[in-house]
A and B are shown apart, each in its own frame.
Chain A
Amino acid sequence: MDVWASLLEGFANAATPENLLYALVGVILGTAVGVLPGLGPAMTVALLLPVTYALEPTSAFIMFAGIYYGGMYGGSTTSILLNTPGESSSVVTAIEGNKMAKSGRASQALATAAIGSFVAGTIGSILLVLCAPIVVEFAISLGSPSYFAIMVLALIAVTAVLGSSRVRGFSALGLGLAVGLVGMDPVSGQSRLTFGEPLLADGLDVVVVAVAIFAVGEALWVAAHLRRTAAHVIPVGRPWMGREDWGRSWKPWLRGTAYGFPFGALPAGGAEIPTFLSYVTEKRLSKKPEEFGHGAIEGVAGPEAANNASAAGTLVPMLSLGLPTNATAAVMLAALVQYGIQPGPLLFDREPQLVWALIASLFIGNTLLLLINLPLAPAWAKLLQIPRPYLYAGILFFATLGAYSVNLQSFDLAVLLVLGALGFAMRRYGLPVLPLVIGLILGPRIEQQLRKSLQLSSGEWSGLWSEPVAIGVYVVIGLILAWPLLARLLRRSRAVPVTASDDTPTEAEQELVDRRNR
């Protein structure tokens, strides 16, 4: 079959010593970043974007994928091993994992998290291999009007569904689109929003904007609210699991994967809902539900698998449609654009080497993660002793270095500061960052598709809904936008009492949204 042949070729590319090295670097960086508080895979990839100028795209993406997966693993290590006085961690893995660690079962918790991540990541990657070509086939058959509609849907879904406040989501989107407008209009050649400043004629470099919003904005925000903590790391030996633990873990792994993958692939899915669902499911299906809240291994196995599977799922729309569903995917797409590679359904056609090497490296990266991190988990915890001033000074240092190296002009650094201040303001006033980045990246492409659609229909605006897929998508968009009104009407006509169930840790939900939404 064609697909498997391409995959094998991808393995051949990904397994070169050079690319293996990049995978290793990515995985190590990702784990380190995941372990440390305040950082995240999106920020790390953004900080490394300037470096990619000098690397081969294939190698760079292999590294990014490693960072993406590694970040998840590092995060679970911290939440399991961190002994914070008084605070009860509400991130799902931490609920059970931390309790396990406190009762001396840290090795088992780490093992089930690591192996579960590996299983989910591998299965997720296989699913990616199977699904992506199908989506691409479907997408290629779409005309510009439908593609345009789908992109608008991606924008609206991310803006209107995630986050608690729609007005702020749309505001962020508006700002992102506006920033994307700066520069020359490709068709008419006129400069927009440059105010006569020649340095802006090429537009704002996506790299600079991404670094500003993710790294500088975050660093400034954390600086404004520096935490002073002194927690301990629970000492742990080598992670391993007993027979009973294996028996109790394998089904949650599979169930978690089943939850995670589809949610990762949907534009507004994310990773928080599937991990939460997995936790609740495991609790309900468990033969020992009373253990939950005190260290039940299923409560670690399922959610961790869901997490990793959702990361694999995110790659489906990213690679096959060019649509990002979370911050890390958005930044990776920015990297693609940086290389002059157009994301979209034709990516598989135009750059098969890159895509398949990337997918193959997912398997390699997952394996590397398991082999390296399983014995090294206790060592990673030592990283947590780095003082925060160094961490955040380092972020600003590398952000500046990266942004400057793009064009070697200090103007970019001024842009960095201004947009960093914007990022700060957004975090202060609760404007979600994701719509801004997606608006920035998709804006120009949406305009392009709009133009193409109207060209095809010779200027008739009705051409926008000439295709059945387009009509269907617009209906969905309409539903999403009208949802609050509909919900209110439904509620009034049915007056259903809302029951609060006590296995619904809503704080956990909020914590998850905050944590994963970077």
Chain B
Amino acid sequence: MTVVVGYVPNPEGEAAVTHAVREARARRTKLVLVNTSRGDALVDPRYAFEDQLAAIERRLVEEGVEHTSVHAITGTEPALAILEVADTHGAELIVLGVRRRSPVGKLIMGSTAQRVLLEATVPVLAVKAPRQ
């Protein structure tokens, strides 16, 4: 049983990791960090770079949490990747960062969080970035 967290290199993602760490500690389980991209566009700011991922992993090591990462260009939507990882790694909880989006925005840009929320078979924890 693990806690799966969808990570994106932005404040929402960092907040998600914070909460995921808390949950993993409380449940005494492993953390699985997921960061993928469809690879459709030349540039994808939501895909973490090696150094960004290394920074996050260092943080997890400092917090003393056992963890693995799934970091790849999968050619599928990140939502699907998260759900798949949750399946294969036996997740008991999924943690995601969310951002406020208008209905039109969701229609045009899609919403990873919404898709995961609707299709997950385990509880989903939606986290907002702390107000600055």
Give me the interface of A with B, judged by CB distance under 8 Å: 36-37, 82-83, 85, 227-233, 381, 384-389
Q: Do residues A387 and B43 form an inter-chain contact, with CB atoms below 8 A?
A: no
The verdict on A230 contacting B37 (CB below 8 Å), with A37-B42, A82-B42, A82-B43 known, is yes
**Once bound together, how far apart are the Cα atoms of A201 and B85, in whole Å?**
61
Contact residue among A228, A232, A381, A388 (Cβ-Cβ distance under 8 Å from B49): A232
Known contacts A228-B75, A230-B73, A387 near B41 by CB under 8 Å = yes
* B124 nearest CB across to chain A (Å): 24
10 A-B residue pairings within 8 Å (CB atoms): A85-B49, A228-B38, A228-B73, A230-B39, A230-B43, A232-B45, A232-B49, A233-B45, A385-B41, A388-B41
A230 to B49, CA, bound (A): 9
Alpha-carbon gap, A169 to B67, bound state (A): 56
> Which residues between 29 and 74 of chain B lie within 8 Å of chain A, taking CB atoms?
37-45, 47, 49-50, 73
Residue pair B50, A85 in contact (C-beta under 8 Å): yes
Which of B40, B47, B49, B73 contacts A387, CB < 8 Å? B40
A228 lies within 8 A of B43 (CB): no
Residues on the B chain within 8 Å of A231, using CB = 42-44
Given that A85-B50, A228-B75 are contacting pairs, would A389 and B42 also be in contact in the complex, using a CB cutoff of 8 Å?
A: no
Q: How large is the interface on B (under 10, 10 to 19, 20 to 34, 35 or more residues)?
A: 10 to 19
Contacts of A36 in B (CB 8 A): 42
Partner among B39, B45, B49, B50 whose Cβ is within 8 Å of the Cβ of A229: B39
List the B side residues contacting A387 at CB < 8 Å. Answer: 38, 40-41
For the complex formed, measure the closest distance between the CB of B47 and the CB atoms of chain A, giving whole angstroms.
4
Contacts of B38 in A (CB 8 A): 228, 230, 387
Task: Please determine whether A230 and B75 come into contact, CB atoms closer than 8 angstroms.
Answer: no
Distance to closest chain B CB from A235 (angstroms): 10
Q: Given the complex, which residues of A lie within 8 Å of B47, measured CB to CB?
A: 230, 232
B49 touches A385 (CB 8 A): no
Q: Is A385 a contact of B43 with CB atoms below 8 Å?
A: yes
Interface contact B75-A229, CB-CB below 8 Å? no
B73 cross-chain contacts in A, Cβ below 8 A = 228-230
Chain B residues near A229: list those with CB within 8 A. Answer: 39, 42, 44, 73
Query: Interface of chain B, helix or strand or loop or mixed?
Result: loop
Q: Closest chain A residue to B9 by CB distance? A: A232
User: Does B49 contact A83, Cβ atoms closer than 8 Å?
Assistant: yes
Closest A residue, CB atoms, query B51 = A85
Most buried by A among B39, B42, B44, B45: B42
Q: How far, in whole Å, are A85 and B49 apart by their CA atoms in the complex?
A: 7
B50 close to A388 (CB less than 8 A): no
Complex alpha-carbon distance, A384 and B43, angstroms: 5
Q: Are B42 and A384 in contact (CB under 8 A)?
A: yes
Q: Which residue of B lies closest to A231 (CB)?
A: B43
Q: How far is the CB of A172 from chain B (nearest CB, A)?
A: 29
Shortest distance between the CB of A382 and any CB in chain B (Å): 8
Given contacts A83-B49, A85-B50, is CB(A388)–CB(B40) below 8 Å?
Answer: yes
CA distance A232 to B45 in the complex (A): 6
B108 to A: closest C-beta gap in Å: 12
Instruction: Give chain B residues whose Cβ lies under 8 Å from the Cβ of A386.
Output: 41
* Cβ–Cβ < 8 Å partners of B37 in chain A: 230
CA gap between A83 and B40 in the complex, in Å: 16
From residue A77, how far is it (CB to closest CB) to chain B in Å?
12
Q: Please tell me which one of the listed residues B40, B45, B49, B50 contacts residue A389 in the complex, with CB atoms under 8 A apart.
A: B40
* A382 closest partner in B (C-beta): B43
Q: Compute how far the CA of A81 lies from the CA of B33 in the bound complex, rounded to whole angstroms.
A: 28
Nearest chain B CB to A379 CB, angstrom units: 13
Nearest CB to that of B40 among chain A residues?
A387
Closest CB of chain A to B10's CB: distance in Å?
A: 12
Q: Tell me which residues across on chain B come within 8 A of A381, comparing CB atoms.
A: 43
Chain B contacts for A227, CB-based, 8 A: 39
In the bound complex, residues from chain A placing their C-beta under 8 Å from that of B41 are 230, 384-388
**With A233-B45, A385-B45 given, is the CB distance from A228 to B50 under 8 Å?**
no
Which residues in A have their C-beta under 8 angstroms from that of B50?
85
Question: 19 more A-B contacts (CB under 8 A) besides A229-B39, A231-B44?
Answer: A36-B42, A37-B42, A82-B43, A227-B39, A228-B39, A228-B73, A229-B42, A229-B44, A230-B43, A232-B45, A232-B47, A233-B45, A384-B43, A385-B42, A385-B43, A385-B44, A388-B40, A388-B41, A388-B42
**Docked complex Cα distance between A327 and B82 (Å):** 45
Shortest C-beta distance, B78 to chain A (Å), equals 11
Residues of A within 8 A of B45 (CB): 232-233, 385
Q: Given the complex of chains A and B, what is the CA–CA distance between A230 and B9 in angstroms? A: 13
Q: Return chain B residues, CB-CB under 8 Å to A83.
A: 49
Closest approach, in angstroms, between the C-beta of B107 and any C-beta of chain A? 16
CB distance from A38 to the nearest CB of B (A): 9
In the complex, chain A residues whose CB is within 8 Å of the CB of B75: 228
Q: How far is the CA of A252 from the CA of B26 in the complex (A)?
A: 62
Q: B74: nearest residue on chain A (CB-CB)?
A: A228
Determine the distance from Cα of A36 to Cα of B50 in the docked complex, in whole angstroms: 24
Residue of A nearest to B36 (CB): A230
